[in-house]
A and B are shown apart, each in its own frame.
Chain A
Amino acid sequence: QLARQISSLVRQLPTVDTKQFKQEFLMEYNDALLMVYLAS
């Protein structure tokens, strides 16, 4: 039972791998970097 649960868990990775996610993620990242730049 434990082995099956772990197997199922592992199969859920990676959690997200879509183009849209990467876009949103990088946008947030860039916003944060921009804030650092402007603050400094």
Chain B
Amino acid sequence: EVDAIFKYDEVQQSAIQAQKPWTKDPHYFKHVKVSALALLKMAMHCRSGGNLEVMGMMQGKTVGDTFIVMDSFALPVEGTETRVNAQAEAYEYMVEFVQTSKQVGRLENVVGWYHSHPGYGCWMSGIDCSTQMLNQQYQEPFLAIIIDPIRTVAAGKVEIGAFRTYPEGYKPPDEPASEYQTIPLSKIEDFGVHAKQYYSLDVSFFKSSLDSSLLSLLWNKYWVNTLSSSPLIGNRDFVAGQISDLAEKLEQADGQLVHSGRAGSFFTPAERKKDDSQLTKISHDATKMTVEQIKDITSQVIKDLLFN
């Protein structure tokens, strides 16, 4: 049963392609299941890019309202945030890769693209939205996944988001607020303007029985990596950037607070509430950053007690 998900039913997939249920409902797809293999490959590829945005493609299938990502491959392009459809540079590579994949028994089609947002969170920028809209016009069904490799290391869990855009001109119904995430000041505008153009899908993971046994074998050695790594040292640049960003946000909020303080009576309760929520966000960001630091320094102290 665990491995049944790995079976590829060509007839079923062709039928889905013919029916195209996503054309009737812009919100049709709701879930994403990512295989352990695809997740590992994507995370490692994004991590290897360092501070550069990297991108790749995902292979898989759809079952009902769920995307199932079986595998992924990297594309030889960089700087995906600099132009719409950076993928275009790699079309030849993509075509050849997919053709060769089928020859070696990977029958799944390309079902999406992934790229990294090093250090600034999982959300769709203006360029990402335009690229994804283009993809959804010509390559349906298509999914966008974004991974933040730097926050992954800082938080100790994979920062991943899956998204689909709405068609041009579509007005989405009001959604409940998604989980809060820190957005750097330099990206806030880009984040805000396009926030309503896409929605996020629920991401879960699966692994085969072989994956399970391999991972459990690796787990026996994993403790060595945990003890011999110091995120405190590795994440210094990122933390410094976060503190600097926080300082800028504080200055901005401070300026606005001063105004509202002096001329408080001229501001409506809604406007005053907006300032409060800005400060709340800042304190939330500061708390998160500090908790991560505490976690890292705790591990250093434990190592000191253990080994020294």
Q: Which residues 6-40 in A have Cβ within 8 Å of B in the complex?
A: 13-17, 25, 28-29, 32, 35-36, 38-40
In-complex Cβ contact of B290 among A25, A29, A39 (8 A):
A39
Q: Is the CB of A25 within 8 A of B293?
A: no
Q: Is the CB of B232 within 8 A of A14?
A: no
A25 partner, pick from B283, B286, B289, B304, beta carbons under 8 A: B304
Could you mark each residue 279-308 of chain B with 1 if its beta carbon is under 8 Å from any beta carbon of chain A, else 0? 000010011011001101100110010011
Partner of B307, one of A13, A29, A40: A13
Contact A25 B294 (CB under 8 A): no
Q: Is the CB of B300 within 8 A of A14?
A: no
| A39-B287, A39-B290 known; A14+B297 contact, CB < 8 A | no
Chain A hits for B287, CB < 8 A: 39
Shortest Cβ gap from A10 to chain B (Å): 12
- The docked-state distance in angstroms from the alpha carbon of A24 to that of B304 is 12
Contact B294 A36 (CB under 8 A): yes
Bound together, the chains give a CA A28 to CA B304 distance in angstroms of 13
Residues of chain A whose beta carbon lies under 8 Å from any beta carbon of chain B: 13-17, 25, 28-29, 32, 35-36, 38-40
List 18 extra interface pairs beyond A29-B301, A35-B289, CB under 8 A.
A14-B308, A15-B307, A16-B308, A17-B308, A25-B300, A28-B232, A28-B297, A28-B300, A29-B297, A32-B297, A35-B293, A36-B293, A36-B294, A38-B286, A39-B286, A39-B287, A39-B289, A40-B290
Residues of B within 8 A of A38 (CB): 286
A35 touches B300 (CB 8 A): no
Q: How far is the CA of A37 from the CA of B287 in the complex (A)?
A: 11
Chain A at the B interface: SS class: helix
What B residues does A14 contact at CB under 8 A?
Answer: 307-308
Q: Please tell me if the beta carbons of B289 and A32 are within 8 angstroms of each other in the complex.
A: no
Q: Closest chain A residue to B239 by CB distance?
A: A35
Q: List 24 A-B contacts (CB under 8 A).
A: A13-B307, A14-B308, A15-B307, A15-B308, A16-B307, A16-B308, A17-B308, A25-B300, A25-B304, A28-B232, A28-B300, A29-B297, A29-B300, A32-B232, A32-B294, A32-B296, A35-B290, A35-B293, A36-B293, A36-B294, A39-B283, A39-B287, A39-B290, A40-B290
Residues on the B chain within 8 Å of A29, using CB: 297, 300-301
A17 to B283, CA, bound (A): 38
0/1 string, B36-63, CB within 8 A of A gives 1 = 0000000000000000000000000000
Bound complex: CA A17 to CA B73 (Å): 46
Nearest CB in chain B: distance from A33 CB, A: 8
Distance from B127 Cβ to chain A, minimum over Cβ atoms (Å)? 33
B293 CB, nearest partner CB in chain A, Å: 5
Q: Write the chain A residue with the least CB distance to B232.
A: A28
The 3 closest A-B pairs by CB, nearest first: A32-B297, A39-B290, A39-B286
